[in-house]
């Protein structure tokens, strides 16, 4: 059984809780294309008939949420699709961004019946502020049992001011693109994972698709916007400048490992009772998110930085933007990365075994 826990959002929230600065300002918005009465009557799902919701449509996209909020996300799905299609087969899949922390089974079915195959629930900036306030208030109450309501509210507001109230506009747009890319990757390469996700056995859950987690993550990182890409590369530069390549997982491990914080995140959500029917978005406090870092001294953000750095290395060295798409097709047949390198490495300018590829990549990292 597969599950999406929005690991990207968890990692960004963890950084914010640690005092990471966020990007401010509002991006230029695309004007939504007008929807004719005929089109809206035949193309829009019945969810859009609710007066409390607004719907914004594109050729392959639908954004659903409270009126006054959906416009903020105009053009986002199309932008993410264009980036995804630079390195993987274009998704051409009708996708929905649903601005809600929960999407019921009934609503999911309505969207599916309307031809929308990919659905991402997402907490908007306004709703995220309310969720953050509630989470922080609970945390403060647990640590200050003698404080009255007024004191708790004062401390809550002070902590919100220190921590910031959101991902930042550009970080959020990059994070949403990241999550859509995960689902497009599964749809195009391991669609059987979606069928398996209907399994009710929570103990059988897996991260993302039936494919390798590193490749699943690669598709997502490659679809991020310039803002997050610059952060990934800056994190890699800092690691390399410090001579700390041990912060990255050895490729031999990287190619076969599970997402480094998946099991911890799953256990935490199960303990909190947040694994429910339907699709749900949960928010972790900064302390909870920091507690998800894997054992062994490595940090979860380094997994994303490594994915971006390894992507840059492979694309530059192979001179083939679609190299990972080709690897995905090969691994989908049961081939290992070691076998793919042995059979195809020389053609792409890559070493033909994992140990030598490790040396080639490290040399590339050091040379910058």
- 3-class DSSP state of 57: strand
Q: Are 88 and 49 spatial neighbours (Cβ–Cβ below 8 Å)?
A: no
The whole-angstrom distance between residue 332's C-alpha and the CA centroid of its chain comes to 22
Tokens of 24: 């401010």
Report phi then psi at 266, rounded to 5: -65, -45
Could you tell me the end-to-end alpha-carbon distance of the chain, in angstroms, rounded to an integer?
Answer: 40
Nearest to 313 by CA among 359, 256, 364, 255: 364
CA distance 249 to 91: 30
CA distance 137 to 159: 9
Give the containing element (helix H, strand E) for 309.
helix 300-318
Task: Name the β-bridge partners of 98.
Answer: 64, 121
- 3-class DSSP state of 66: strand
Of 79 and 35, the structure prediction assigns the larger pLDDT to 79
Beta strands in the chain (DSSP E): 2-3, 53-57, 61-66, 95-99, 102-103, 118-122, 206-207, 279-280
Identity of the highest mean pLDDT range in 25-29, 36-40, 199-203, 256-260: 256-260
Of 297 and 89, the structure prediction assigns the larger pLDDT to 89
CA distance 146 to 149: 10
By mean pLDDT, which of 20-34, 139-153, 320-334 is the weakest?
20-34
Q: Are 189 and 182 spatial neighbours (Cβ–Cβ below 8 Å)?
A: no
Q: Dump pLDDT digits (tens) for 291-349.
A: 777 766 788 889 999 999 999 999 999 999 999 999 999 999 999 999 999 999 999 99
Q: What's the rounded mean pLDDT across residues 9-36?
A: 34
Q: Dump pLDDT digits (tens) for 188-215.
A: 998 876 554 444 444 445 566 678 999 9
Query: Percent of the chain beyond pLDDT 70?
Result: 76
CA distance 139 to 132: 11
């Amino acid at each position: 059984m597969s599950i999406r826990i929005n690991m990207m959002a968890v990692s960004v929230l963890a950084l914010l809780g640690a005092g990471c600065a966020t990007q401010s300002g509002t991006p230029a918005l695309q004007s939504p294309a007008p929807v004719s009465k005929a089109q809206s009557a035949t193309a829009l799902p019945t969810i859009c008939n609710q007066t409390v919701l607004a719907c914004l449509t594109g050729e392959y996209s639908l954004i659903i949420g409270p009126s006054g909020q959906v416009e903020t996300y105009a053009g986002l799905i199309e932008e993410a699709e264009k980036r995804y299609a630079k390195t993987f087969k274009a998704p051409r899949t009708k996708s929905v961004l649903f601005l809600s922390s929960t999407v019921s089974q009934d609503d999911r079915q309505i969207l599916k019946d309307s031809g929308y195959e990919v659905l991402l629930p997402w907490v908007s900036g306004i709703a995220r502020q309310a969720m953050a306030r509630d989470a922080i208030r609970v945390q403060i109450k647990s640590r200050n049992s003698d404080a009255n309501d007024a004191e708790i509210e004062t401390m809550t507001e002070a902590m919100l001011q220190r921590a910031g109230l959101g991902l930042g506009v550009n970080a959020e747009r990059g994070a949403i693109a990241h999550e859509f890319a995960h689902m497009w990757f599964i749809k195009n390469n391991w669609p059987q994972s979606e069928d398996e996700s209907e399994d009710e056995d929570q103990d059988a859950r897996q991260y993302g698709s039936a494919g390798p987690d590193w490749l699943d993550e690669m598709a997502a990182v490659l679809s991020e916007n310039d803002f997050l890409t610059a952060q990934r590369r800056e994190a890699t530069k800092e690691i390399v400048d410090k001579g700390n390549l041990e912060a990255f997982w050895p490729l031999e491990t990287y190619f076969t490992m599970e997402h480094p914080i998946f099991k911890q995140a799953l256990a935490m959500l199960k303990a909190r009772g947040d694994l429910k029917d339907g699709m749900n978005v949960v928010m972790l406090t900064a302390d909870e998110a920091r507690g998800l870092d894997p054992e062994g001294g490595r940090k979860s953000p380094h997994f994303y930085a490594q994915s971006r750095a390894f992507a840059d290395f492979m694309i530059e060295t192979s001179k083939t933007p679609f190299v990972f798409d080709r690897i995905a097709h090969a691994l989908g047949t049961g081939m290992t990365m070691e076998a793919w390198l042995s059979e195809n490495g020389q053609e792409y300018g890559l070493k033909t075994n994992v140990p030598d590829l490790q040396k080639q990549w490290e040399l590339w990292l050091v040379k910058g």
